[in-house]
A and B are shown apart, each in its own frame.
Chain A
Amino acid sequence: MKLEDLAPLGLSGLARAIAAGEVSAVDATRTFLEALDGRGRELRAVARLWPERALAEAQARDRERARGQIRGPLHGVPLAHKDMFYRAGETLDFGSRVYAGFRPDTTASVLERLDAAGAIDIGRLAMVEVALGITGHNDHVGTPRNPWNAERVTGGSTSGGAAAVAARLIPATLGSDTGGSIRVPSAFCGLVGIKPTYGRVSRAGCMPLSPSLDHIGPLCRSTEDAALLLSVIAGHDPRDPTTSLRPVPDYRRALDGELRGMRMVALVEGLEPEPDPDVAAAFAAALEVFARLGAQVVRRRAPDFGDVNAMRRTVMMAEAAALHGPRVFGREQEWNPQTLARLLPGFALPATAYLRAASARASVCAHLVRDLFADADLVLLPTAPCTAPPIEDPQVREESAFVALANRVGAYVGPFNYTGLPAMSVPMGFDPTGLPLGLQIVGRPFAEATMLRAAHALEQATGYSRAEPPA
């Protein structure tokens, strides 16, 4: 079975083909393992592959299907994830030297859900060191290349996952998002990525970076695939007390194309930093599409996200410093300078600043919801103010310039980690050089279905998700 036969199916199509017996789990697993081992390593997207266990599982899924036993909606579908999702007994590195050889004795709850749905876990994908970085740079294990332009970053921290899905080397992947690490790589690589509401998806068995802000979600090539994967992984988990007891809808049912009567607020001015002209133009075009599809689009000025971002960074740096502190001092040479530039300030933050930033979350969240959603179902803004920066951007090698670059790239996404509101990125076009651009859709708490409905309608109207990166 050739990759060019399987890749166009996407996650949902491949699942249907395997369930119908048109493709075997073994063929699919072997094909995607070879793709990751070849092109995936060229793109520096791969951390580790597990061919023996993956093929053994695939054979078992094929035997089950032959007996008429289908485990669930992902029966026999091979997947690979960021190198931070625990699989009991399997080694992980978190993209890091100081955690090299970490061997958990437990499996992530989201992986247990994927297992129960029939998915096959074939390996781990490259990531930014301990998920602390929005650009995707990682000098130690290699910076993944953007399939749309190999001289550009993928965005981070779900860097290898974004590269692998965009290059069609794996149907979909899971990532984590503490300050945009699902949405920004999705935008830079032309993917659909969802950061669900805080509490919608379990983090048990996932490497923590900042537990108050960490979210788990899918990166896929289409809204249908993202809806499928989110439906499988969402829901209450006794192992994670921060998960909600709310029932999980089948998000695929939201993909009905119906936008009439939907109210959208578009943040067309006041964003800091201002979006690049290509981003602003694509954003304006996306708003026109929504209006043409029957949505009521109200354009307004953005609230000041600067303070919210400062409070998010304070919470994140303090929590990350507390988590990784024992492995930092005396081992600085084992860390990427870019990570240290973001990690070390956390050790200098007083507890009072952390507590004040943490204490303001409830009121900031309530205020933002009242302000933005008073007459709206969704809020729209670009995912990032720019396209993917060059891997060799001069700012990367100078500490204060790198921090400024990271803050700029993540300026539009961080507020929704701090508030916990659901947010996703969906393709909204390309710049003149062919680099993808992402639209961010933000919902009310637990309104992922509404977000997906709008994203799907845009996707169907524009066809951007069907575009392929150059070979």
Chain B
Amino acid sequence: MTEAKSLSNRRPETGAFFQRDRTMHPPAFTPSYKTSVLRSPQKALLSLDSTLSEITGPVFGHNILGELDNDMIHNFAKPGESAIGERIIVYGRLLDERGKGVPGALIEFWQANAGGRYRHKKEGYIAALDPNFGGCGRVITDEDGNYWIRTIKPGPYPWPNGPNDWRPAHIHFSIFGHGFAQRLISQLYFEGDPMIWKCPIVRTIPDRSAVERLVAALDMEATIPMDSRAYKFDMVLRGRRSSMFENRMEGN
């Protein structure tokens, strides 16, 4: 895990993180997403300015990555074969709230196949499994916070919430920043999908602009002609306070 230190010789930042703007996130209790009803804390969260336990966090070196980790079209496929579906590239930058790129950050992805079926024993949708599609990928951001993956566009699928609720096409992602307080999991949606605004999970987010920031933009300039279309998707982690003026308690 310490290999990431070699990414740069600048001193790591150790300031505490900006207060999380909870108006940009879904509340815990969202009855239209039924599972949240019994899984949502009801008491107020206890506010805690980051201590060393949250300012630090695990960082992963490139030694964990395999050659096909960021290629879901091929990383589960038999040699010479590939996953079925619309071939796409998803690329973008991982930034923090100050607009700085976040280098050396692990991003993990998972998704359904082109028919909307997950490879999971608890999944019961009738759409067919694709023998060449596993559904997971991962990447570590470069020095400027850039990342890119190759995959197939996942299909929408029905889920047991309302009698006839469907998820829009989406890719789940999990991000490690540089501190454990930045840990984040969310979902990427696709430009032009009419299912987005009907989805009870999307609608747990009260702020429309916050939903719009979860929608990846089709970018024809980044396509590979005769191969794959591209979607651009930036992600933003919490920023951190500068430590240029250390806050010292009186007497220290």
Do the two shown chains form a genuine complex with each other?
Answer: no
> Residues on A close to B: CB < 8 A?
none
